[in-house]
Amino acid sequence: MRRHGDPSSQAGSESGKRQSEPSSPAPAPTPVPTLNVANLLTLSRLALVPLFIGALFAGDGSETVWRAIATALFAIASLTDQVDGWVARKYGLITDFGKIADPIADKALIGAALVGLSLLGELPWWVTVVIAVREIGVTLLRFWVIRHGVIPASRGGKAKTLAQIAAIVLYLLPLPDGAEPVRWVLMGFALLLTVATGLDYVFRALKLRKTARASTAGR
C-alpha cells in the first residue's frame, strides 16, 4: 500500500493531470499575401501586352526588325506564364487571385496576338473567332461558378496554351512562304486542343456547381 507522500503516486497524479489538460491548438497557417512574386510576374505579362501590340503594328507590321521585337516581347511575356506557376508552386504562393489572374493574362496576350495577326491579314479571322469564343466562354464560366470555388488551369489547358504560343510565334516570325504548311499544322493542333479543353471546362464548371449546391442542400 502506497503512502500519501509516495513519489510514484505523485508522479502518476502529475501524469494524469498532464493527460487531462487540453492540448494547445496548432498555430494557424500564415496567409499567402496577394501581392507576391508569382502574381507580380502575372501582372508583368499583362503590362507587356500593349508594348507587344505597339511593336507588332510598327512599320505597317511588315518591317523585319519590328516583327523580331514583337516576337521577342511575346516570347518574354509567354515565358512569365511558365515561371509564375513554378514560383507559386515551389514557394507556396498560390492564391485565388493568381488562379484567376493567370489565365486572364494568358488570354489577353494570346488574344492580342491573334487579333493583331488577323488585322494584318496574316491569319484567317475564323481562327481568331473560334479561339476567342472559347477563351471568353471559359472566363465567364469561371466567374459563373466562382462563389462555389475556383477552377484552376488544367494540364490540358496548359498544353493548349503552349500549342497556341508556339503557333503564334511561327506566325509572328518573318519566315519564308515555305513555312506556311508548318504554321497551319501547328495552329490546327492548337485549335483542336482549344475546343477539347473548352468542353472540359464546361463539364468541370457544371460538376463544381452541382456538387456545391448538393452540399449546401444537405446542410
List, for residues 5-64, the tens digit of each pLDDT value.
555 545 455 545 445 555 555 555 567 777 788 888 889 999 999 999 999 999 888 889
Q: Which residue has the cell 475546343?
A: 195
Reference 161, options 103, 210, 216; nearest CA is 103
Q: Using alpha carbons, list the distances in angstroms from residue 108 to 111, 119, 130.
A: 5, 16, 15
The structure's pTM equals: 0.74
Which residues lie closer than 8 Å to 115 by C-beta, 6 or more apart? 128, 132
How far is 158 from 102, CA to CA, in rounded Å? 11
pLDDT tens digits along 113-138:
999 999 999 999 999 999 999 988 88
Identity at 26, one-letter amino acid code: A
- Cα separation, 104 vs 95, whole angstroms: 14
